[in-house]
A = this chain, B = another copy of it.
């Protein structure tokens, strides 16, 4: 008999628990797995032996798991040092863990790879991708992204209806994704009826404030309400954040942000046009209300695939999805060596960004649409005047 242990790392998503469900369901099919451990609060849960038995929970717990946002076992951004790796390995062996799963982003895949290098065949180690940012290399897309993209597309389409109904201001929506513009780009799906977003700025292109102001001014004169979506991470030509980070003596991390607030103030003070900003922030990654059906199904499937692969003796891989076609949407599940994805950041390719750097191409919409699912239709588009 042997044990399985899963830990999560990095910012939550609303597909993380679906992956956990897939892991639990598959593990229960294998009689040689007699314990399904979950590390509470990320890798720290292994270090502190703070674990939970995921195989013996109530029916209600399992029923609610996929539609619960964030992480029921908790996650963390705690950095791991050399000593920590030795402690983790010791604990895994003490617990008779034969299968270890680490569910996180590209940084976590590096951690996972390091453990694999240290343990080789002793313990089967599989990484499971998770990030709303969609910035993991090799794979087509990552569990968590589809739902974040759906949130962005649906919410932007709803805001667009509001702006169109009372077109008196410039509205600037800030999207998550500091280095990669995938989530920001997903807002482009909302613009089916020309109601916006009218301008979209991703961090892959330099943001020229003067150009932005002149574009906004021109559009506002033409049509009244203007809807803009910007990534929280846009930078200028020299790669500097648009809003300088606030550094506090004694604090490790600076206070970063709020670029939409700053740009709304710029529109108001420089152009004399009413402006406001919206920043759903964490609501975006925590919204089960906006879960994408495809995303949740894939998250669950990859959790199960990780267990299946480990039981078959595979180790040192990350499970992932390869796209076969967009229309119809067809995919293949794949295993990628951890070394190929560790710490590599996958940004939005050039072909998805328009030439002016203020919008998204149709090619991206074709890519993103099946991950997001159908968007709501609105009566205004059928109004005959």
Interface residue A280 (Cβ < 8 Å from any Cβ of B): yes
Interface residues on A, range: 35 or more
Q: How far is the CB of A60 from chain B (nearest CB, A)?
A: 5
Other-chain residue from B63, B64, B159, B379 in contact with A72 (beta carbon distance below 8 A): B379
A197 within 8 A of B: no
How far is A159 from B287 in the complex, measured between Cα atoms in Å? Answer: 8
Interface status of A75 (Cβ within 8 A of chain B):
yes
Question: Contact partner of A380 among B72, B165, B251, CB < 8 A?
Answer: B72
A288–B162 Cα distance when bound, in Å, is 11
Q: Which residue on B lies nearest to A20, using beta carbons? A: B379
Q: Which of A161, A166, A287 has the most CB of B within 10 A?
A: A166
Q: Are B379 and A64 in contact (CB under 8 A)?
A: yes
Which residue in B57, B253, B281 is a CB contact (below 8 Å) of A278? B281
Q: How far is the CA of A60 from the CA of B265 in the complex (A)?
A: 40
Task: Tell me if B246 and A159 are in contact (CB < 8 A).
Answer: no
Q: B278, A277: Cβ atoms under 8 Å? A: no
Inter-chain pairs besides A61-B384, A161-B286, 18 sampled, C-beta below 8 Å: A12-B166, A42-B166, A63-B379, A68-B380, A70-B166, A72-B165, A72-B380, A74-B166, A158-B286, A159-B282, A246-B269, A251-B268, A255-B264, A255-B268, A277-B281, A278-B281, A283-B283, A289-B289
Point out residues on A near B: beta carbons under 8 Å. 11-12, 14, 17, 40, 42, 52, 56-58, 60-65, 67-77, 154-155, 158-159, 161-166, 168, 171, 246, 248, 250-251, 253, 255, 257-258, 261, 264-265, 268-269, 272, 274-283, 285-290, 376-380, 382-385
